[in-house]
Amino acid sequence: MLIDWFTVVAQAVNFIILVWLLKRFLYKPILDAIDAREKRIEVELADADAKKAEALGERDAFLRKNEAFDGQRAALLSVAEAEANTERRRLLDEARRAADALSAKRRQALRSDARDLSRAIGERTQNEVFAISRKALMDLATTTLEARVCDVFVHRLREMEGPAKAGLAESLKTASEPAVVRSAFALPAEQRAAIQKALDEIIGAEVHLRFEIAPELVAGIELVGNGQKIGWSISDYLASLQERVAELLNEKAQPEAGSP
């Protein structure tokens, strides 16, 4: 017989014991270890997921911040640019205004220079002419320039005709105050008498005269009475010369003012 029943029972018991032993010493610890490890890995994975989510969130926040920063920077930049532009325009305007003012001032200075120069030239010319004329007259005639001026004046008085003469006679006759004879120099008594005589002859009555000195006449003489004025002065001649000199100076100043 191949089956030994005692052995069968013994082997069955042995097997049951072995099941218990292996359960106790093999399956349980191994499965527990695997479970523990799986749990640990799960926890670590969850941790990693959480960290990843956190990192993503932080990255998003950083990106948002960056964008906001960029926007702010752009806004600041545009504002600064606009400010710089207005400042630049303002500075340019200021400079232009300053340049305009400067050039106007320069033109003004030039003009006043020209005016001064022309005046100086006029005065100088007047004086020179006066000096030259006097010298020439003194050299040519034995009489002084003043005497000659007086002669010319008397001559004029005598040569007066028509309405002018009548008007002068009328005005001097009706005058309540004495007529004034102005000259650049003190007239000697001889010449005063000549003038008095000439006037008396012209008007046909005695004329009260008052003699005054007016240096601005420059070798001239004039008679003023009751709103009437008659005279001769080198000033008149010089005036035309002065005018011409002034014209010349203006012509010279004009192109300079045109191109500042």
Give Rg (Cα) of the chain. 63
Q: In the range 98-117, which residues lie near other proteins by CB under 8 A?
A: none
Question: In the complex, what is the shortest distance from the CB of residue 44 to other proteins, in angstroms, rounded to a whole number?
Answer: 9
Decide if residue 15 touches other proteins (CB under 8 A): yes
C-beta of 11 vs 72, nearer to other proteins: 11
Count of residues touching other proteins (by CB under 8 A): 33
Among positions 38-57, residues that touch other proteins (CB under 8 A) are: 40-41
Between 16 and 99, name the residue whose CB sits nearer to other proteins. Answer: 16
Q: How far is the CB of 52 from other proteins (least distance, A)?
A: 20
d(CA 120, CA 49): 103
Distance CA(160)–CA(173), nearest Å, equals: 16
Nearer to other proteins, 25 or 62 (CB): 25
Question: Is the distance from CB of 229 to CB of 177 less than 8 angstroms?
Answer: no
Among 37, 59, 97, 119, binds other proteins (CB under 8 A): 37
Q: Considering the rule CB under 8 A, would residue 26 count as an interface residue with other proteins?
A: yes
The closest of 232, 234, 237 to 154, measured between CA atoms, is 232
Q: Residue 249 class from Cβ within 10 Å (0-12 exposed, 13-18 middle, 19+ buried)?
A: middle
Which residues form the interface with other proteins (CB under 8 A)? 2-12, 14-19, 21-23, 25-27, 29-34, 36-37, 40-41
